[in-house]
Structure 1
Amino acid sequence: MKLYFAPGACSLSPHIVAHEAGLTLQLEKVDTQTKVMQSGGDFWKVNPKGYVPALELEPGDVLTEGPALVQYLADLRPEAGLVPPAGSLERYRVQEMLGYINSELHKTYAPLFRPNTSAEVREERTAYLFKRYQLLEERLATRPYLFGDTFGIADAYLYTVTRWAKYVKVDMSGFPNLLAFMERVTARPAVRKALEAEGLPV
């Protein structure tokens, strides 16, 4: 399998899950601005949506969208315990959380990365993020990971998007439980391997 990624982008989430599951992935770096791959190919031909992540299962068969990728990878190694069994209520709870992170956090960061975003919009989006993070801050007050003592795919996604806060200068000091979560996840060997493979600071 080949993972098309950009360092630190949302593709970090399936990359982490692969390491946690003990799966070997071939990596193909993508320039998100030019859509040119490190190998020189045109990424638009791989994923017509134009963004990472994309997972090539075999030549010509590509799966996209982070929440789908992390579930697919985790299901390849159920013994790793990264996701509950398909069809269980616990699985739907994880999907519920993936949807929340995807719609309420991930997309809210987008304008904060744009240099032409007005101060007014930046302030409004930051306030929205804080409101949405508060739910997770309270949840993490009673458990080390989103669903208890076990690291799972939703944790990988939350970790990935929350790493963006420092790059867009969003002050997360008001969320001590979330910051402690970030430290715990960063300390995981599989996470460190993914960060190092992408050339990111640990």
Structure 2
Amino acid sequence: MKLYYTPGACSLSPHIALKEAGLPHELVKVDLRAKKLANGEDFTKINPKGQVPALQLDNGELLTEGPVIVQMIADHVPEKKLAPANGTPERYRLQEWLNFIGTEIHKTFSPLFNPTLADEAKAVFRNRLAIRLGHVDSALAGRDYLMGKEFTVADGYLYTMLRWAENMKIDLAAMPNLIAYQARVAARPQVQAALAAET
């Protein structure tokens, strides 16, 4: 498998999933602004969406959209318990988290990356993020991870978003469960390995 990624982007989530799964993979760095690979190749010829993550499968097919990619990775190694089995109530809960992270957290960050957006508008999005992250903080009470005791692919995705929160100066001081959770995920050896590989 070949993961097209950009350091600091949401492609960190499937990178963590690949490391946790122990699946062999190649990393291909993408300059998202220029839509180019390091060798100068046009990334949009590989992924017409022009976005990361993109995962090229061993059969040559390309899979895009982070929440889909991480579930596919997890399904390759069911013994690692990175996702509950398909068709179970627990799998639907995992998908609920992946959708919440994707639509309510990830997409709410997007305007903050726009340098032309006024500070007043950015403040609105920061407040929305604080509310959504407060919900996650409450859900993590008494849990090690989003689904309970087991690390899942949803945790890799949320961790990636929490790194963005740090970079965007979103104050998590009133969210002790989230702070402890972020430290717990950050300490995982495969998370550290993914971060190191992207520097």
Alpha-carbon offset, residue 60 of structure 1: 4.1
Aligned-residue Cα RMSD (Å) equals 1.0
Alpha-carbon offset, residue 58 of structure 1: 3.3
Q: Kindly indicate whether the alpha-carbon contact (under 8 Å) linking 1:14 and 1:70 is maintained by their aligned counterparts in 2.
A: yes
Which residue is 1:98 aligned to? Answer: 98
Q: Kindly indicate whether the alpha-carbon contact (under 8 Å) linking 2:130 and 2:170 is maintained by their aligned counterparts in 1.
A: no
Question: 1:11 & 1:194 partners in 2: Cα distance?
Answer: 11
- Unpaired stretches in structure 1, ≥5 consecutive residues: none
Which residue is 2:194 aligned to? Answer: 194
- Unpaired stretches in structure 2, ≥5 consecutive residues: none
Alpha-carbon offset, residue 89 of structure 1: 1.1
Question: 1:166 & 1:54 partners in 2: Cα distance?
Answer: 25
TM-score by structure 2 length? 0.97
Which SS does the other structure have where 1:3 is aligned? strand
Counterparts of residues 123-162 of structure 1 (less than 5 Å): 123-162=123-162
Q: Kindly indicate whether the alpha-carbon contact (under 8 Å) linking 1:36 and 1:43 is maintained by their aligned counterparts in 2.
A: yes
Instruction: Supply the AA of the counterpart residue of 2:15.
Output: H
Alpha-carbon offset, residue 172 of structure 1: 1.7
Alpha-carbon offset, residue 116 of structure 1: 1.6
Question: 2:136 & 2:101 partners in 1: Cα distance?
Answer: 10
Alpha-carbon offset, residue 39 of structure 1: 2.8
Which residue is 2:45 aligned to? Answer: 45
Question: 1:170 & 1:88 partners in 2: Cα distance?
Answer: 35
Alpha-carbon offset, residue 59 of structure 1: 6.0
Question: 1:97 & 1:135 partners in 2: Cα distance?
Answer: 12
Percent of aligned pairs sharing the same letter: 51
Q: Kindly indicate whether the alpha-carbon contact (under 8 Å) linking 1:28 and 1:39 is maintained by their aligned counterparts in 2.
A: no
Question: 1:114 & 1:162 partners in 2: Cα distance?
Answer: 19
User: Within the alignment, does 1:110 sit opposite 2:105 as a pair?
Assistant: no
Instruction: Supply the AA of the counterpart residue of 2:121.
Output: V
Question: 1:39 & 1:158 partners in 2: Cα distance?
Answer: 31
